[in-house]
Chain A
Amino acid sequence: MEDFTIAFSLGHMPYWLFIILMMTGLYIVVAKGNLVKKIVGLNLFQTAVFMLYISIGKVQGGTAPIFPTDMKIDPEVVYSNPLPHVLILTAIVVGVATTSLGLALIVRIRESYDTIEEDRILKIEHDIAAAENRIHGQSMGGRA
């Protein structure tokens, strides 16, 4: 592990931040019981990926990838890679769509279950399943 020198670690700062942000998001999705908080965690998680892509696009000493209008391109000038940014525009749109759909589902869940806390929803569903099993189990002679 001699690769991990201080210069290496500091030089890859965006990647460290990416990992921290990604893990924070993933932790929230897993650990929080509130459905809205889970969506927030999912958002953080996705945003972390945007950071990863945008840091890939950075070229050392590169400038903004805009050609001069007269199209006289100086071969000496180094440009940053614009492609990851374009990809992330698409990914942002996908993220917005996911968030809005998730929130819409939460609204419907709130209407049907009267709660958005995971443990209470699980309890309600457990009761429904138990009732179902009672009805269908008895009619099958207790074999179901």
Chain B
Amino acid sequence: MASEAITYATMTWQEQLPVLQVLVPFVAAPLLVTIGHKGLAWPLTMLASAISLIVSALLLAQVIDGSVISYRLGGWAPPLGIEYRVDAANAFVLFLVSAIATLVLAYARASVAAEIPREKHTLFYTAFLLCLTGLLGVTITGDAFNVFVFLEISSLSTYVLIAEGAHRDKRALTAAYDYLIMGTIGATFFVIGIGFLYMATGTLNIADLAERLSTQTDSRTVRAGFAFVVVGIGLKVAIYPLHLWLPRAYTFAPSVVSVFLAATATKVAIYVLLRFMFTVFKPAFLFELQTLEFIILPFAVIAMFAASFIAIFQSDFKRLLAYSSIAQIGYMLLGIAFLSSTGLTATIVHLFNHGITKAALFMAVGAYALRAGGSFMDNIAGAGRTMPWTSAAVVIAGLSLIGVPGTAGFISKWVLVQAALEKGWWPVAILIVASSLLAVIYVWKVIEALYLAKPLEGGATREAPLSMVIPTWIAALASIWFGFSTGVTLEAAEAAANGLMNGVR
């Protein structure tokens, strides 16, 4: 425990990057309310989010070689003080979250103007920034209790954002309420788990926890802590039997919020799960091994099939995507359950690839909601002709969702199948391919409605505004780009996976 004083005057701005990552959106949020000018709300939010994107890119560039940045908040040395710790795994997630946030905001202006009354705009963007702060904070912090605090910041603002959907459909209110109850139970379980770990080790710093736990023998306290943490985060991740809040929340939230949540919130929760399973608890911890093999693995496979199957029968495109998300989370959990560095690489790559793919799809849903008045199959019928650009983006992202070669979705499923074969679990590999066939059915159902069905009266008559089409296309093209140029994503994911597996921290 070093106690040398840090002179802040001599710290360069590069050294302050980790705290800026969280601080910029966090300070911008109350600033919006105090300024109170509706015209300034969007530009300021955009600016804050763009700055955090630049910061995260700089951080990623610094740690991609496997090094670790440790930042002492307020100059208090860890393990007593709160530490921000950036390594390849969380720099990657930070970059994903801030990139999606910036993209979503570029898209948000037209969509929010149409879906949310003007007097609520300032508060809407404030909640959005707080949610971003929470997600970035959860990812960057190296302190277990701090994870809980940031998790609650992001969750509370998420409930508000979902409830904003009530201007279109009052069911958003009950969806937000249900999520509040389940999310709070999840977060409280998480904090109980942290309490048990603190009882066993007397520390809250994640790196320190890992070190002290590795010297301990298996005890009932540690096991209880592990169980509470996994179930608590599992609620946030929407692991199969704990997913009930997700379809309703995604369906009734405003389009912008659905895009943002689907692409980031569950991904950040998966990252926390990874952090606890691989950094805090070592995979050698027998209890964890059994949890992964006998609980997480079967549930992941059930999620892949059951959720895809339910998605096939949805008549609402948005709800279909929500169920598809649960199935995709199944793939990510499967990668974790393999407990190999190939499996982890698959999880992290899929986390990124699915993030951009789902962002493109949910953005298209927002465009249909704006121009066709809804996203039911009959609303979007024939939109392939009236909204050619948006619909073409849906086709591209849909192919990536299935995992057609040449798209980002293929890369992650390929690595996942490789990981399954590496383990010799070939039935699981077959199941991965079989469940992708279910995705073919539901994606085809949408494409059929877009291009082959007769348009109804009152459907879309013109293309969505450019400010919505361009971000949708950026996300759609990214899902092709990362299907061919796998260098960046795979490399970063491998660095992250190796870091997690070997416990470099």
Contact = CB atoms under 8 A, between A and B. Distances in A.
B160 interface: yes
Contact of A84 (B148, B149, B198): B198
A87 B191 CA distance: 10
A119 interface: no
A112 B174 CA distance: 10
Interface string B195-215: 100110000100000000000
A101 B159 contact: yes
Contacts of B456: 139
Interface string B141-159: 0000100110010001001
Given A29-B185, A42-B184, A101-B180, A108 B315 contact: no
A109 B252 CA distance: 14
Interface string A87-116: 100110010011001100110110011000
B315 A105 contact: no
Contacts of A97: 152, 156
Q: Is the interface of B mostly helix, strand, loop or mixed?
A: helix
Nearest to B187: A94
A121 B174 CA distance: 9
A79 interface: no
Contacts, number: 93
Contacts of B171: 125, 128
A100 B148 CA distance: 19
Interface string A38-53: 1000100110010011
A106 B316 CA distance: 27
Contacts of A26: 185
Give the interface size class of chain B: 35 or more
Interface string B389-426: 00000000000000000000000000000000000000
Given A136-B376, A136-B378, A144-B315, A56 B177 contact: no
B324 to A, nearest CB: 17
Given A144-B377, A144-B378, A42 B181 contact: yes
Q: Is the interface of A mostly helix, strand, loop or mixed?
A: helix
B62 to A, nearest CB: 30
Contacts of A140: 315, 377-378, 381, 453
Contacts of A128: 171
Given A45-B188, A139-B378, A102 B195 contact: no
Interface string B360-404: 000000000000000011110100000000000000000000000
B149 A56 contact: no
B180 A105 contact: yes
B315 A98 contact: no
A52 B315 contact: no
A49 B152 contact: no
B222 interface: no
A127 to B, nearest CB: 11
A109 B378 contact: no
B235 to A, nearest CB: 13
Contacts of B91: none
Contacts of A109: 173-174, 177
Interface in A59-80: none
B177 A91 contact: no
B163 interface: yes
A125 B251 CA distance: 14
Given A46-B184, A49-B188, A140-B315, A105 B176 contact: yes
A49 B191 contact: yes
B47 to A, nearest CB: 27
Contacts of A137: 315
A133 interface: yes
B505 interface: no
Interface of A: 26, 29, 35, 38, 42, 45-46, 49, 52-53, 56, 83-84, 87, 90-91, 94, 97-98, 101-102, 105-106, 108-109, 112-113, 121, 125, 128, 132-133, 136-137, 139-140, 144
8 contacts: A29-B185, A42-B184, A56-B195, A97-B152, A101-B160, A105-B163, A105-B180, A140-B377
Interface of B: 145, 148-149, 152, 156, 159-160, 163, 166, 170-171, 173-174, 176-177, 180-181, 184-185, 187-188, 191-192, 195, 198-199, 204, 315-316, 376-379, 381, 453, 456
